Amino acid sequence: MKRHHIGAWGEDIASQYLEAKGYQIRARNWRTQEGELDLVAQDGETIVFVEVKTRTSKDFGWPEESVTPVKRHRLQRAALAYLLDQDLSDIFWRIDVVAIDRTSSGTVERLEHYIDAVDGEWDAP
C-alpha cells in the first residue's frame, strides 16, 4: 500500500475515533502556505488541530516520534492560519496527535491520542 493511501486510511480511522468521542470534524487536509492540517475538529468550545501519524512497521520508530520540533512549529503556524482564515481569533484551541500502528492485514494494532501534544507534555512509548 502506498504511503498516501496509508495516511488517508489513518485519517479515516482517526476521524472515526474522534467522532465516537463526540468531536465534530470541521475539515480534512486543510492546506495553507504554512503547511497542511490533517484534521480540524471541534471538542465542545475548543478547536482541535489533529496531526495523524500512521505506520505499518517499527522500522522508523513509533509514529508519534516523527512529530519533530520543526513539525510542531509548522503545525502551530498552520493552526494560526486556519484560525485567521475562519475568523476564530478569540477561541480556545489546541493541537493533538493521533498515532496509529497498522497491521499488515490492514487493522489497527494501536491507537494513541495525545491531547495538547504541542504545548503540553507528552512522551512517546
**40-94: per-residue pLDDT in tens?**
999 999 999 999 999 888 777 888 888 888 889 899 999 999 999 999 988 999 9
Considering only CA atoms, which of 68, 69, 75, 111 is closest in space to residue 93?
A: 75
The CATH number linked to 71 is: 3.40.1350.10
Q: Is residue 120 part of a domain?
A: no
User: Which stretches does DSSP call E strand in 16-118?
Assistant: 24-32, 35-43, 46-55, 92-102, 108-114
Amino acid 62: pLDDT:
83
Range of the domain at 21: 3-114
Residue 84: is it exposed, middle or buried by C-beta count within 10 angstroms (0-12/13-18/19+)? exposed
Considering only CA atoms, which of 40, 13, 17 is closest in space to residue 102?
A: 13
| Domain count across the chain | 1
* Grid coordinates belonging to 17: 475515533
Residue 22 has pLDDT above 90, yes or no: yes
Amino acid 1: pLDDT:
56
Q: Is residue 121 part of a domain?
A: no
